[in-house]
Amino acid sequence: MQDIRAPHGRTQRIYSKNAAYQKFEVLKTNRNKRYKYGEFFVEGVRNLNEAVRAGWKIVSFLYSFETPLSRWAQEMLETVETEQNVELTAALTADLSGKSDTSELMAVVRMRDDDPGRLELSDNPILALFDRPSNRGNLGTLIRSCDALGVEALALTGHSVDLYDPDVVVSSMGSFFKVPVIRLPSNSEVEDWIAALRQRYPALQVVGTTSHAEQALFETDLSGPVLFLIGNETEGLSARLKELSDRMATIPMAADCCASSFNVSCASTVLFYEAVRQRNRRRE
């Protein structure tokens, strides 16, 4: 292993699965180690482009010194400031990449703080809280829906799947880096955040969601500031979150359908769309 100078920071070259290489492996697979380092692993052209565009801190780019790089990858290396880039053999790059067609450029990215104070919210936001998500694909897809429909922030509660798991990042299709997401593990943190929102937005509606027969979603006024509380995939909302809700809303389903509920990411998309629809209708 040798160090050589690079335009941004230093470049480290790795020839074997040494301790430096093993750190990248654990960033992909070990939740505790990710939080120990405060870093996570990213690959995919769209994800890397969005991470850079949204101003996330790129700690390192990883790539093979044995394989020619595309113009896009070369421009990334030349223009994005990093602490230390890492050159690997082609075999190590293939082992590290989670894709059948090995990614030519991967990255280690710095996590962001779980501070509600960093959220930059408008005067009339659509917000969401996901209670104890248990499926990585659902979480990534929900983040994508937040991005598509203008949800300004997403909060995650309790012990849930890891926000920074590579599967969550990949399934968000780049939206991970656009939508501000904060983790609020304890009930007290959730209650403090909702209380702060109520103080800032006196007209805020906290809308819990349920598959049971409650007020139909389209009968709920969602044109003002709104916080949707979205339940766990199997258990729904916790009892405490139901208590914090101003009302419980449901998405009406066809009377003769055999489905008992929507997938949580599909249901969330409907919630967000209805809020956007009502706001557009009011402006018209």
Pair 192, 61 in one domain: no
Predicted confidence at residue 8, as pLDDT, reads 56
- The CATH number given to whatever domain includes residue 240 is 3.40.1280.10
* Same-domain check for residues 97 and 205: no
Q: Are residues 155 and 276 in the same domain?
A: yes
Closest by Cα among 3, 24, 10, 17 to 89: 17
Distance CA 128, CA 223 (A): 15
Q: Closest Cα to residue 80, out of 104, 110, 48? A: 48
The answer on pLDDT for 85 being more than 80 is yes
Better-scored residue on pLDDT, 283 or 110: 110
CA distance 193 to 189: 6
Residues 158 and 266 in one domain: yes
Looking at the fold, whether 236 and 131 belong to one and the same domain comes out as yes
Contacts of residue 166, defined as CB under 8 A and 6 or more positions apart, other chains included, come to: 28, 40, 41, 42, 43, 98
Q: Which pair of tokens denotes residue 241?
A: 């979150």
Nearest residue to 222 via CA among 146, 280, 148: 280
63-94 as b/e: b if 16+ CB within 10 A: bbbeeeeeeebeebbeebebebbbbbbeebbb
Q: What's the rounded mean pLDDT across residues 272-282?
A: 94
Domain boundary, last residue among 59, 77, 110: 110
CA distances in angstroms from 216 to 219, 227, 260, listed in the order given: 5, 16, 16
Last residue of a domain, one of 95, 110, 125: 110
157 with 253, same domain: the answer is: yes
User: Which domain range does residue 177 map to?
Assistant: 116-283
Looking at the predicted structure, is the pLDDT value of residue 1 above 50?
no
Q: Is residue 150 located within the same domain as residue 96?
A: no
**Are residues 105 and 139 both part of a single domain?**
no
Condensed to tens digits (0 to 9), the pLDDT of residues 211-265 reads 776 788 888 999 999 999 999 888 889 999 999 999 999 888 767 777 666 789 9
Could you tell me if 161 and 202 lie in one domain?
yes
- For residues 77 and 123, membership in a common domain is answered with no
Final residue of a structural domain among 80, 110, 140: 110
The count of other CB atoms within 10 Å of the CB of residue 28 is 19
**61 neighbors 105 (Cβ within 8 angstroms):** yes
For residue 162, give the 3-state DSSP assignment.
Answer: coil
CA contacts within 13 A on the Cβ side of 61: 29
The whole-number pLDDT of residue 41 equals: 97
The per-residue pLDDT for 2 is 38
Query: Are 57 and 180 members of one domain?
Result: no
**Tally of domains within the chain:** 2
Q: What is the CATH number of the domain that holds 44?
A: 3.30.1330.30
DSSP, collapsed to helix, strand or coil, labels residue 12 as strand
Of 198, 34, 217, nearest in space to 116 by CA: 198
The residues, any chain, with a CB within 8 Å of residue 79's CB and separated by 6 or more, are none
Are both 230 and 120 inside the same structural domain? yes
Pairing relation of β-strands 2-5 and 10-14?
antiparallel
